[in-house]
């Protein structure tokens, strides 16, 4: 009986370990779907409130497209670099992969610094979130995306530390794959944000 039990539990335990990354990926997909709902609600709120400037400055007066375009290029480039870093790590090229993750971090950090600079400029000009419904919706939507990017930067730093200390183990690779899903998701959200908030705002 003991031998039979051991024989039965061995493969089951191994199968559970083997399926863990897939289950984690599925759970993370579900999280991204809930995050997509949150951003959809924020986009809808922004579209409704965008015309409500309360006599204050409009998007055309406040937004500088060249500056926002640089932000966009930083974030999109970081996503491409992350993809190459993931390929390098998948091929066992630890040093090259870490260099790619470090560059991804720096590009994402540059994006956040520019976004904070924009917020600072707007607030100094009297266009803070309390000025109008339009600005409240703008700061909430863009700030929520920026908060996600900041979480992604922290996650990147943790992953680089784990790769250095633990190596490219199965759990580390699984976490890196979920980070990739998260980072690319933020790129997609930003493309929508750039189009709806900045591009359409300046052209309206």
Number of helices followed by number of strands (H, E) in the chain: 7, 0
C-alpha closest to that of 111 among 75, 153, 140: 75
Most distant pair of Cα atoms in the chain: their distance = 81
pLDDT of residue 11: 44
Extract the tokens encoding 103: 């560059």
pLDDT tens column, 39-94: 999 999 999 999 999 999 999 999 999 999 999 999 999 999 999 999 999 999 99
Domains, the chain: 24-50+61-203 (1.20.120.80)
pLDDT of residue 147: 98
Low-confidence ranges of the chain (pLDDT < 70): 1-21
Extract the tokens encoding 36: 């997509």
For the whole model, what pTM was predicted? 0.87
CA distances from 140 to 1, 130, 144, 154 (A): 62, 11, 6, 21
CA distances from 30 to 27, 44, 184 (A): 5, 21, 15
pLDDT of residue 18: 54
183 C-beta neighbours (distance < 10 Å), count = 23
pLDDT of residue 123: 96
pLDDT of residue 27: 86
């Amino acid at each position: 009986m003991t031998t039979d039990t051991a024989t039965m539990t061995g493969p089951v335990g191994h199968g559970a370990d083997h399926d863990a990354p897939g289950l984690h990926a599925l759970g993370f997909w579900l999280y991204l779907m809930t995050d997509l709902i949150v951003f959809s609600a924020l986009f809808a709120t922004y579209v409704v409130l965008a015309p409500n400037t309360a006599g204050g400055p409009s998007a055309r007066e406040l937004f500088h497209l060249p500056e926002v375009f640089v932000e966009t290029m930083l974030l999109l480039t970081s996503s491409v670099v992350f993809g190459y870093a993931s390929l390098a790590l998948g091929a066992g090229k630890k040093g090259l992969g870490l260099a790619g993750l470090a560059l991804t971090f720096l590009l994402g950090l540059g994006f956040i610094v520019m976004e904070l600079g924009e917020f600072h400029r707007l607030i100094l000009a009297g266009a803070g979130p309390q000025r109008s419904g339009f600005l409240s919706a703008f700061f909430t939507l863009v700030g929520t995306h920026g908060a996600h990017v900041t979480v992604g930067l922290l996650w990147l730093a943790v992953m680089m530390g784990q790769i250095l200390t633990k190596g490219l183990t199965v759990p580390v690779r699984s976490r890196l794959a979920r980070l990739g899903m998260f980072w690319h998701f933020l790129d997609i959200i930003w493309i929508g944000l750039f189009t709806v908030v900045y591009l359409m705002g300046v052209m309206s």
